[in-house]
Structure 1
Amino acid sequence: MKRNEIQTIESTNRKQKPAEDQIEFGKQYTDHMFMMDYTEGQGWHSPRIVPYAPLELDPAAKAFHYGQTVFEGLKAYRKDDQIFLFRPERNFKRLNESNERICIPKIDEDLALEALKQLVTLDQDWIPKAEGTSLYIRPFVIATEPSLGLAPSKTYQFLIIMSPVGSYYKEGINPVKILVEEEYIRAAPGGTGEAKTGGNYASSLIGQEEAEKIGYTQVLWLDGKEKKYVEEVGSMNVFFKIDGEVVTPALNGSILHGITRDSILHLLKHWEIPVVERKISIDEIYEAHKNGKLEEAFGTGTAAVISPIGEFFWKNEQLIVNNGEIGSLTKKLYDTLTGIQYGTEPDPFGWRIQL
């Protein structure tokens, strides 16, 4: 076998697929997964598709102790007998950007994309058919060297697992309620905020837990230095429509380079709708709401796609957005983007890949 030829070992014990009305986000997994190993001095090697199974790792593996791990999230979509991926090359590019920040050797992006295509094709029967459903894809890298010395690992595994999913939020496309977090911070300049690494999400859990206790779906994080400027929601980038102009926080090193975020920016510019990336403070959001200029707000991300925001809770005050209803621009963006992803709308940007 050639060094980068992908070996496939098919499962002889196929699992029962969940009923499409009983799919839970990230709870059931397909029959196969992709794996590839890294060894210092040898590089990445042994790419293979194998039956989905637990991993065997040494208790001293560095991923457990020093958080040297990164991940991605994307989806496969079905329209009748057609299967589509949406901008997957951007995910592997971003994975390598995260790898660089966490001192993990870069993967071959072309090989990763080919492995993904083969894996999705093999497990295509797991892609649900019901409206709004898809196959969630989770590529990730973990440090596997069994050593407690604080240094980058000398061995790694790169894996791709997949899970049939419905809506990320129980509200679906209905507006969610967001708590503005003022006590904790998620990331700070010079940190790992723009890398998709597990520690960022671990640090956000306490804020999300506190939000859920008082009936809010997610947390809006402010900057780590002044706790003044809006950054992102726990699992989404965030946009505001203020007095006819769409505003989203500029990428500053502590905000994730969202692929859905980038797609929304492209759509807005394509439609010639005023849009700007800049610093925006929570005080500005409050004043816009107070003056009746905060017209819409929404979050963007692979899991939720676009999630309208119907309320912010800040300083014990409820800021209701658009009467708690989805805005017309948010709805148009959602319909267009999901239409491109599912192959029901034209794709003027060449984002869609058909398998």
Structure 2
Amino acid sequence: MPGCDNGRHASRTRREPGRGGGTTSAQRTSRPTNADVARLAEVSIATVSYVLNNTAGRRISERTREAVHRAAEQLGYRPNVAARNLARGSGGVVLYVVPRVAVGEMPIQAGSLLATELARHGLLQVQIFETEDDRHVVEAVEGLDPMAVISMFPLSDAVRTAVDAARIPGIEVGLLPAFGDPLLIVGSLRVGHLVERGHRRIAFAHTDIAKWRAMGDHWLEGVAQAAAGHGLPPIVVGDVTAANAATVVGGWVRDGVTAVCAQSDEIACLVLHGLHQAGLRCPDDLAVIGVDANPLGAYLSPPLTTVEFKPAAVADIAIAATLAELGLPDRTAREPAPLAELIVRAST
């Protein structure tokens, strides 16, 4: 672990007092304390604690607050998480539920940014991965005593019941007003691009794997809505597997379908595989577009057009909602940014 590694390096360079007459390595790299912040800001240690802990009921001028925050930033001061959480009378844990649906690396990247921001407020983010059986998520809610539970997608009924019983915020990022309508955002990007390229008969490539079906249905709804908005015929839907890919895509082409929205980049790969097997060409016979921005998509034949979620934009929404729910100050100026971006390559 990074912390353990740093400790090993420090132990190798530490000198015993009195040898060489110099300052020890441990002294040179000692962590700034709230006393250091107090001296630099010219305030009391108690005032530093009140300001950095956002203690309610204390009348402290904005000028003093700014001086404390400026001194803390200048010194690189980070509060002691354990001490702060003890003062709050809570575990200081925020539970972050990583979805089991295939949405690329975005939840992990956004979760990492969220964890860093929460750490600045003395909170520890604990990640827990969804499985088909959400009992262990429920047990985490009941056993870890979190201050909040965050998920990119709606919580299951069982987890929502546990969150409500614990009387803590359950922040479902994908449902926040600031997030808009992600399925329509993605559907509009994909269908709009295909319409610009002259396509009107569009298919949707679904998976036959049960645990990924829900996410496929999610993206399909967005594609169908966007197609209706453009006055296109109903979307043609088919399950695509390694075994039937050539048959399915061949049938689509014979039926006049000219473009396919796949439920993920992985399913788009199967569509391209089917085209090659059937002796058809992409995009001449059938254009293909995915979603998730899997890095390998750039190296397919042809390179895959896809939609990429922007982790920083998603994290900003999650951070703002979490801090607001917990009554913590959000001093970062956040500019609205697009949540998703179309990456156009040769497959369309």
**Pair in the same fold by TM > 0.5:** no
Greater gyration radius: 2
TM-score between the two structures when normalised by the length of structure 1 = 0.28
TM-score between the two structures when normalised by the length of structure 2 = 0.28
- Identify the structure with the greater strand proportion: 1
- Identify the structure with the greater helix proportion: 2
